[in-house]
Amino acid sequence: MTDPNDDPEAAIDPDEDTDASTGLGSTDDQQSPDLDDVVLDNLDAGTGDASDEASRGLFDDLLEGEPIFENKEVLRPSYTPHKLPHREEQINNMATILVTALRGDTPSNILIYGKTGTGKTASAKFVSEELETTSQKYEVPCEVEYINCEVTDTQYRVLAQLANKFINKNVDVIDERIEKLEDLQARARDDTSELDESDYDSLSALEDAIDELEADKEEFEEVPMTGWPTDRVYSSFFDAVDYHERVVVIMLDEIDKLVEKSGDDTLYNLSRMNSELENSRVSIMGISNDLKFTDFLDPRVKSSLGEEEIVFPPYDANQLRDILQARADVAFKGNALTDDVIPLCAAFAAQEHGDARRALDLLRTAGELAERDQIDNVEEDHVRQAQEKIELDRVVEVVRTLPTQSKIVLFAIILLEKNGVHNINTGEVFNIYKNLCAEIDADVLTQRRVTDLISELDMLGIVNAVVVSKGRYGRTKEISLSVPTEETEAVLLSDSRLGDIDDVQPFVQARFDN
Ligand code: ADP
Ligand code: MG
């Protein structure tokens, strides 16, 4: 799936890197020496007097043989690029709104929309880093807090995380301040004229100030990750933010996930804070993959949050090429890429709603496949293989996480296809489905519900269901599998419940002809 927080590495066979580089680093003729051989070779060398050879460990050879990648990290989603081609307009818009914070005023709230992989997170992080750097340069108190609401997905957690961030910052500020005052105190004890330049007219005034800071520090209690009433968490956060003068920009990435899971209370509370804060100001930047998520918001929240809106349109193939080229220049060795590689990655990803994440995954995977083939160049065919691999990984993930009932329905369709039934109709699926449910003791849903589940599988791209007219017999759905049968079946059978199905053959015989 296009879950941006998924570690895409998880989709890649962890053995691949090892296999590939073991082969590459090896000097003998073996096609794919296994690790045992490598170790033995080195041990043999060690028995002679060539102690240099002996000290060459398992990894020395592997380290040298890296003909394709110069710096693979650059292609990973965790890497934040400092140049974002084709996002200049959006980045400038953000900056124009947020520069207000550097003047000490409250920036408008911003809502950013765009499909996954359109550079929203990367652009927002880039802008926030620039904003903080500039605020330090000019010593204006402006802070950005980034929260990924897919991970931090309840009001409690969002507020607790914010509270603790500000509490820690405040404690740091207080510690620094105390240290300065204690320094002054030490000097003033020797010579009271040291106080002349300060805000304190006596040693005891200075001591009071230090005590007061110590007391402030005591009051900041970390919020536990569960257990407090929400209003207590909120007031902790409120007090922590308002401790001193500053403008705070709170970035809520994947804000649609928060609203979907926990409603809009968090946004309501955050957006009305400014009327009560005395020293500080809060501005919210929400980032959403779902263009319609504001439909579910309280109208007050909607108008407050959407004071400014910035849209991130999908990239086209040419833009994706530029993005890939910039990253490839750093990621790959000089001539590792043949000419067609980047255009093909860009073309595939452009079909995938212009998703730059997909484009980068393709490029990295293609490189890894070339590495595994032990050749020095990434070729067009590696990109095609990478596309298949990523697509298959996606299917496996989608199928694996289907609810049991959908898995049974899908299994019924697979059984029919495997038995040579084409243009499967809903009745046939339902028949097999019922038998499968009986076999594993699952509840049997109505045919109506099963039809719905088939439509869902269609939307997920796992099956293709087209409505065909049967003349005076009305209309029916013709269903076919859009994913590889064997692999999909294997994923289904890895489910502990479906794995219990022993002999399915008899059920298929029950098919009625139409
Ligand atoms: P979104 O948050 O919209 O889903 P991201 O910002 O996470 O998308 O971008 C997905 C991937 O594509 C990231 O690895 C990001 O670095 C990269 N990317 C997106 N847009 C650009 C761009 N204009 N230039 C360079 N890299 C980009
Ligand atoms: Mg994102």
> Pick the residue with more confidence: 372 or 248?
248
For residue 235, count other CB atoms closer than 10 A to its CB.
14
5-40 per-position pLDDT tens digit: 444 444 444 444 444 443 333 344 444 444 443 443
Expressed in angstroms and rounded, the spacing between residue 123 Cα and the centre of ligand 2 is 9
The rounded distance, in Å, linking the Cα atoms of 174 and 178 is 6
Structure tokens at 434: 């019922």
In 403-483, alpha helices (H): 404-418, 426-440, 447-459
Q: Which residue has the higher pLDDT, 387 or 49?
A: 387
Look at the block and give the residue holding tokens 């595939």: 348
* Ligand of minimum distance to the alpha carbon of 254: 2
Cα of 247 vs centre of ligand 1, distance in Å, is 27
Helix axes 404-418, 485-493, angle to 10 degrees: 140
Q: Give the per-residue pLDDT at 46.
A: 40
Any bridge partners for residue 475, and if so which? 469
Residue listed under structure tokens 């705070």? 248
Structure tokens at 495: 């489910």
Q: Which residue type sits at 376?
A: D
pLDDT in tens, 493-508: 999 888 877 655 545 5
Nearest ligand to the C-alpha of residue 116?
1
Ligand 1 first shell, C-beta below 6 A: 4, 77, 81, 84-87, 114, 116-122, 323, 356-357, 360
360: alpha, beta or left? (left if phi > 0; alpha if psi -120 to 50): alpha
User: What's the gap in Å between 319 CA and the centre of ligand 1?
Assistant: 12
Q: What pLDDT sits at residue 25?
A: 38
Place of tokens 């930047």: 285
> Between 453 and 22, whose confidence is greater?
453
pTM: 0.77
Distance from the alpha carbon of residue 91 to the mean position of ligand 1, in angstroms = 13
Q: Angle, to 10 degrees, between the axis of helix 356-372 and the axis of helix 317-331? A: 50
User: Following CA atoms 245, 247, 248, 249 in sequence, which dihedral angle do they give, to the nearest 10 degrees?
Assistant: 180
pLDDT tens track for 276-288:
999 999 999 999 9
The alpha carbon of 8 and the centre of ligand 1 are apart by a number of angstroms equal to: 14
The pLDDT value recorded for residue 61 is 59
Query: What would the mean pLDDT of 297-323 be, rounded to a whole number?
Result: 94
Burial of 5 from C-beta contacts in 10 A (0-12 / 13-18 / 19+): exposed
Q: HSE on the CB side for 325, CA within 13 Å?
A: 11
Nearest CA owner, ligand 1 atom 14: 77
How does residue 467 score in pLDDT terms, banded at 50, 70 and 90?
Answer: confident
Q: Inform me whether the pLDDT recorded for 427 exceeds 60.
A: yes
Q: What is the pLDDT of residue 62?
A: 59
> Percentage of the chain surpassing pLDDT 70?
85
Which ligand 1 atom is at minimum distance from the Cα of 326? Answer: 25
Q: Are 395 and 39 in contact (CB under 8 A)?
A: no
pLDDT of residue 509: 52
Whole-angstrom Cα distance, residue 322 to residue 326? 6
- SS3 label, residue 70: coil
3-state SS of 282-301? EEEEEEECCCCHHHHCCHHH
- In 3D space, the residue among 36, 32, 24, 31 whose CA is nearest the CA of residue 60 turns out to be 24
Amino acid (one-letter) located at 313: P
Q: Where are the beta strands (DSSP E) in 48-186?
A: 110-114, 142-148
CB 232 within 8 A of CB 210: no
Six-digit token pair at 476? 């029916």
**85 pLDDT band (50/70/90 cuts)?**
very high
Which protein residues have a CB closer than 5 Å to ligand 2 (ion)?
Answer: 4, 121
- Closest approach atom of ligand 1 to CA 119: 6
Question: Which helix or strand (DSSP H or E) is residue 142 part of?
Answer: strand 142-148
Q: Which residue has its alpha carbon closest to ligand 1 atom 6?
A: 119
Nearest protein Cα to ligand 1, atom 19:
119
Flag whether pLDDT at 181 surpasses 80: yes
| Ligand 2 centroid from CA 407, angstroms | 30
- Write out the two tokens for 442: 């699952």
